[in-house]
Structure 1
Amino acid sequence: MEFTKMHGLGNDFIVIYGEQTLPDHAEELALRWCDRYFGIGADGLVYILPSERADYRMRIINSDGSEAEQCGNAIRCVAKYVYDRGYVQGEEVTIETLGAGVQKVAIQSQEGRAVTVTVDMGQPVLDGLRVPTTIDSEQVVDIPIETDEASFRFTAVSMGNPHCVIYVDDAVNFDLNTWGPKLEAHPLFPKKVNVEFATVLDRRTVDMRVWERGAGPTLACGTGACATLVSSVLNGKTDREAEIRLKGGSLFIRWDEQDNRVYMTGPAAFVYTGNVTV
């Protein structure tokens, strides 16, 4: 089977195009192919499939075999893939996702190649039970969360997948490997959670590091960047548009006050194409 290795700010994926449905053994394939020592190596396995509601449908299997409802970096990669290969007409693409429905994507191109991609990520979900958390509240903002060793305060946001945003003094050097797994599986989150550790530098700049549910520490997380901007607005820390600086580079996020939708702009890149045994 042919695959294409792609990444969005270092958040990397094995992209498969041409299948009609998600294989029954996709979990097994993700576990095998995403292994960085015995496989191709990636944060996730992405299938670009036909859709009855959009130009294409995206399915994402994390490196641990679980399925993600949405992924901001993956959707930019999918948009670049179909645009650069001429599979869509014009510079607007619609992509169906499992958790966020059909999302509109705008391509900014040069010489027939997508350079940056802007995704309408939809309206953030703030209701506690819908994120989901176990907290029955219209918003879950600056709430204590306890572990055996420490306590934090978090804000919950869903961007089609659940996020827990925590503000720390130094996100760049924060110990992800210690606290990420403890918070991902915390009882407050019935479907586990993506955990973002953020440091606000000014009203339009935030450093963020992420522990992704099902993948661990990654270089970037598009939905996490969106959740961080929404959380920062709710906590009065930033304006509604900001640069979210991740380990792999920056994403530019805007939470529109008129339509309540979040817009993400960033790059996507090809690495190589190869063949793998199914």
Structure 2
Amino acid sequence: MTAAPDSLAAPAHNPLASLTGLAFAKGHGTGNDFVLVADPEGARDIAPQEVAALCDRHLGIGADGLIRAIRSEHLAEGRELLAEDAGAIWFMDYRNADGSVSEMCGNGVRVFVAFLLEQGLASLDPGEVLPVGTRAGIKRVERREGGFAVDMGPWEFIHPAQAEAEAGDSLVTADGLDVSRPALSVSMGNPHTVVALAEGAELERLRLFSAPVVEPVPPHGTNVEFVVPAEPLVREGVGSIAMRVHERGVGETQSCGTGACAAAVAIRHWAGAGAPNRWDIRVPGGTVQVAFVTGIEGAEHVELSGPAVIVAHGAIG
């Protein structure tokens, strides 16, 4: 009698076995999707390899990242933010799909607030604002018709002297581009490198299965956005661009909120005087809106708005 193959005789180790019974939700903001876990008291830290297993699209739940809802008082970073704003009760503990820690996610923070509301962990009427703790500081989220708007805080160039003096501060090489292209690096609390392309066909030809090469790369790596301005760029006072993104530690995603903000910063900078302060950013998963507003301290902030949807619930079996 022929022996059974080893793969049948000895089942492979299940990397999710340690998470048996863990309740989760699945949500997305314009296709940027997340596994969400409520852990108010910080009782269940999820290890990087467990995050990667949960986010695996073939062997796990599948997501661009994992968001853990934890009370700010249970994390050192959160306690620092509570000293700044006692209302920042909840902390968005965000991990990339590979398990690495990330500072912030613009789509993720909208989905995070939608999750808090659905779970009864917070309440927020239309027009009200909820402060949320993140590793990029406190983000204030306003509930609006059709979704949420987030004050993403001030932006800055990663290499300000080069950004002001030249068309870009780095070169990006990517599969599908014939030559390396100049790029501009922008911090939205996390790093982004923005490349402008001439036409939609170039955007479509990109193969973002592997990470683009950025030279010089920012100290902690970078997300890379490829953008094509609309023709005309501005209609009725609103600018419009199309974007694809390769996210650090994830790969190509359907959307990136902080990336959309960085793209608007870069395109407005390149467009020069008279460029608008409101932008529609079209991504594979839909459209988000970016606006430049004056923050509480007088500095220019970026506001991101768009939908957030919770699509499913489950438990690890």
Q: 1:268 to 1:147 in 2, by over 3 A?
A: closer
**Counterparts of 1:219 and 1:182, CA distance in 2:** 17
Runs of 4+ in structure 1 displaced over 6 angstroms? none
- Identify which range, 147-156 or 38-47, moves more after superposition: 147-156
Asked if 1:142 corresponds to 2:177, the answer is no
Is 1:275 the counterpart of 2:304? The answer is no
The Cα shift of 1:68 comes to 1.1
Match of 2:287 among 245, 250, 262: 250
Residue 165 of structure 1: how far off its partner (Å):
0.4
Distance 2:36 2:228 in 1: 32
Report % sequence identity.
32
Q: 2:213 aligns with which of 180, 183, 194?
A: 183
Asked if residue 104 in structure 1 is aligned to residue 129 in structure 2, the reply is: no
- Structure 2 CA distance for partners of 1:42 and 1:168, relative to 1, 3 Å: same
Aligned residues: 263
* Match of residue 192, structure 1, among 199, 221, 229: 221
> Which of 26, 40, 44 pairs up with 2:61?
40
TM normalised by structure 1 equals 0.87
User: In structure 2, do the counterparts of structure 1 residues 55 and 64 end up closer, same or farther at CA, with 3 Å as the change threshold?
Assistant: same
- Name the SS of the counterpart of 2:33 in structure 1: strand
Offset of residue 49 of structure 1? 0.9
Tell me which residue corresponds to 1:65. 99
Q: Conserved in 2, the CA contact under 8 Å of 1:30 and 1:65?
A: yes
In 2 relative to 1, CA 146–215 (structure 1 residues): closer, same or farther, beyond 3 Å?
Answer: closer
- Partner deviation per Cα, 1:224-263 (whole Å, 9 max, x = no partner): 0000111111111641111000000000000126640000
Greater share of residues in helix: 2
1:35 alignment partner AA: D
Structure 2 length normalisation: TM-score? 0.76
Q: CA deviation at 1:140?
A: 7.8
Work out whether residues 176 and 211 of structure 1, in 8 Å CA contact, stay in contact via their aligned partners in 2. no
Q: 1:248 to 1:140 in 2, by over 3 A?
A: farther
Take 1:141 and 1:19, find their aligned partners in 2: how far apart are those partners? Answer: 47
1:23 Cα deviation (Å)?
5.0
Deviation for aligned residue 1:18: 2.3
| Corresponding residue of 2:180 | 151
Structure 2 gap ranges (5+)? 1-21, 74-81, 83-87
Equivalent in the alignment of 1:261:
301
Q: CA deviation at 1:26?
A: 2.5
Distance in 1 between residues matched to 2:166 and 2:148, nearest whole Å: 30
Question: How many Å apart are 1:146 and its aligned residue?
Answer: 5.6
Q: Single out whichever of 68-77 and 231-240 deviates more from structure 2.
A: 231-240
CA-to-aligned-CA distance 1:193-213 (integer Å, 9 cap, x gap): 100000010121100111111
- Whether the aligned pair in 2 keeps the contact of 1:127 and 1:139 (CA below 8 Å) is no
Structure 1 gap segments, 5+ residues each: 110-114, 130-135
Q: Secondary structure at the match of 1:261?
A: strand
Q: Compute the RMSD of aligned alpha carbons.
A: 2.3
SS at match of 2:204: coil
Q: Give the structure with higher Rg (CA).
A: 2
**Residues 22 and 142 of structure 1: CA distance in aligned 2, closer, same or farther (over 3 Å):** farther
1:64-114 per-position Cα deviation (integer Å, ceiling 9, x unaligned)? 12111110011000111112333223332111111x2001000125xxxxx
